[in-house]
Amino acid sequence: MVLHTWGQNLSLHPHIHCIVPGGGVGFNGKWKNKKAVGKYLFPVQVMSKVFRGKFIAAFKQILLNLDEVYTYQLNQALYHKDWVVYCKPPFNGARGAIEYLARYTHKIAISNHRILSIIGNVVTIKYKDYRHGGKSKLLKLKKPEFIRRFSLHILPKGFTRIRHYGILSGRIKYQLFPQFKKQQPIGWEEFWKKMELPLNKCNYCKNGILILIGTIPKRGPPILIDVSISQ
């Protein structure tokens, strides 16, 4: 499950992308495919009715918490029309969907190549207008507005952009799939030996001697390291 909060023009557009497996693991520990055969995991018409029911149930609870009355007329109005859940098969199949999500997992709201210029108090960015066929357009924003929009996508402390759930959750994935048992990390020396690289020779010029000046920690930014080398 991947959290995505921005649109092309840096507007706040929070939504999630989920990868849902077409099956599951039974009580016997074996994989079982879904019964339905077709383009969709669930029937589209059924999804619309279930979504409507879940939404209205949550809406009733909100009114109850606000001491508001959920009337019969309101209930009839909500159920009178058919609700539409937009559903379509992914482009290029499941692999295409995964490749699409992979482009967003570790990105920020805007990359440098889309910032065309910063002149005076105006920032000009390039964006795609999907309402008009994905045409490339320019957007001029004053610096405070650009910073405001960018700040909308800085996640609060404790929020996670990527979350694994179900059979891929950290709690049970190794129980269900012991063949993917987490491997112990290896040191750089052992890794270089495994890659058949010389431990103290530069892999590019083949002559220079490599000198270890520090190790980057697993989390957080690299610590400041004095790279000066005395002769």
Phi then psi for residue 215, to 5 deg, are: -125, 130
pLDDT score of 127: 93
Range of the domain at 146: 112-151
> Is 91 a domain residue?
no
Confidence band of 36 (pLDDT split at 50, 70, 90): low
pTM over 0.75: no
Give the per-residue pLDDT at 222: 54
> Does residue 137 lie in a domain region?
yes
List, for residues 86-107, the tens digit of each pLDDT value. Answer: 877 777 777 887 887 887 787 8
Q: Is the pLDDT of residue 186 over 50?
A: yes
Q: Identify whether 189 is part of a domain.
A: no
> Which stretches of the chain are assigned E, i.e. beta strand?
2-6, 12-17, 23-25, 31-33, 115-119, 122-129, 135-142
In a domain, 135, yes or no: yes
What is the count of structural domains for the chain? 1
Q: Per the domain annotation, does 82 fall within a domain? A: no
Question: What is the model's pLDDT at position 150?
Answer: 94
DSSP 3-state of 185: coil
pLDDT at 39 (0 to 100): 65
How far apart CA 144 and CA 126 sit, in angstroms, is: 18
pLDDT for res 178: 74
